Every structure is written in structure tokens, then in C-alpha cells.
Amino acid sequence: MPQSTKLDDLAKFFDALASPVRLQILEMIIGTKRPLHIKAISDQLKIDYGSTYRHVSVLKKAKLVEVFEVGRSRVVSPRNQELVNKVLESINIMVST
């Protein structure tokens, strides 16, 4: 993989983590044993479905989550649960110090 592609992927990763809403979404999906419907995420965060979907799309482009179609709805699950756990733990350590 060319260096510029790796840097682009890294930039998408950090961009995805730059939003408190996206961090909340990651915490929510890590805290459940099953994938969550985007509608359930939007209801929990009290933001509209369209905004939630855009946030989830950013997380998907950063390869942090996977989105599956189930019937007419979409569900979200972590792509690499260990990585997401480590990222969230690191952020919590940084914020608490």
C-alpha cells in the first residue's frame, strides 16, 4: 500500500474520533452484545436519524464499524472490537488526566 494511502486512512481514522457524537456511538455499540439499529442509536442520543446515519458513515469509512442491512433497516457493529476498545480506553485515560 502506498504511503499516501496509509496516511489517508490514518487521517480518516482520527477524523472519525474527533467528534463527541461518534465517540458516543462507539461506546454504545461496544457496550452491547448485538449490533444496534441506527434508529435505536439516534433515539438514545436524541438526534435525528439522518445525522446519526452520517456519523455512522464516517465511522464506516474509517473502518471502525460495519453496517449491515436487516430488512429495511440498518444495524451497526464494531469492525474490530478489540481495536475500538483500546481506542476508547486510551481516550478515557487522556481525558481523565
Q: Report d(CA 54, CA 46) in Å as an integer.
A: 15
| Residue 80: closest CA among 91, 70, 88 | 88
Say if strands 36-37 and 65-70 run parallel, antiparallel, or are unpaired: unpaired
Whole-number CA gyration radius for the chain: 14
Q: CATH topology for 3-96?
A: Arc Repressor Mutant, subunit A (1.10.10)
Task: Name the strands in the sheet holding 65-70, side by side, starting at the edge strand that comes first in the sequence.
Answer: 36-37, 73-78, 65-70
Residue spans of the domains in the chain: they are 3-96
pTM: 0.85
Provide the residue-wise pLDDT of the chain in tens; the chain has 97 residues. Answer: 567 788 888 899 899 999 999 999 999 998 888 899 999 999 999 999 999 999 999 999 999 999 999 888 899 999 988 888 888 888 877 777 6
